[in-house]
Amino acid sequence: MNKGNGRLLCGTCLGPLEYTFTRSRSRKYTAEDGPATGTTSVSVGHCLDGGCYTTIYPEDIVRNKQYCIDDIRSVLERKADYSLAGARTKSYWRSWFRGVWDAVVEQIGLCIGRILSRKDISRALLAWCGKCGGKWLRYVLDLFSTGINSLCMFFDLIGATIGHGSGGLRDTPASEGWTTARKRHLPPRGG
């Protein structure tokens, strides 16, 4: 993760990372003249607080995937004939993303004390991703790879709820569902 001033942060403890070394990584992508393969360099950083090593991926690379993020996003958006990946790979990406989406919805639900249903959280997240344009997949993957204690980097949790005026999931069509869901549930303990 990059901090606002360009410093690298550990995704686990949010401590500073120290550059350690660079390694090459192959990636596949769809070029104008057909499928292409290239190599890119990724940096590895050492966490000064926790002692762990973290690979810092560029914006266009997805962890543990050979294809770039634009090809994966085009398949998830069901764009016709954009990605030249095989049918089996495309099917795998759809299945993989369903698991990622469910995990993100569950993580947000845990973070807000389960005061909203999974359906309402999913609807609000989908509406927010619609506002992100072409960056929606990166946003969801960042949520997926962030620990539950660090979710506040993506949206503000006010009184253990996702409310109006929060930094992320706001002004969505699910706001009516949020109001009715809030009335049906007891307030969280200690609050």
Domain boundaries, the chain: 1-58, 67-184
pTM, full prediction: 0.68
Which pLDDT tens digit goes with each residue over 136-172? 999 899 888 876 666 655 654 433 334 444 444 433 3
**4-27: buried (b, 16+ CB within 10 Å) or exposed (e) per residue?**
eeeebbbbbbbeebeeeeeeeeeb
Q: Could you tell me which residue, 65 or 188, shows the higher pLDDT?
A: 65
Q: Could you tell me which residue, 120 or 164, shows the higher pLDDT?
A: 120
Which pLDDT tens digit goes with each residue over 16-68? 888 889 999 888 887 777 778 888 888 888 888 878 888 888 888 888 888 88
Measured CA to CA, the distance from residue 189 to residue 53 in angstroms comes to 37
Length of the chain as a residue count: 191
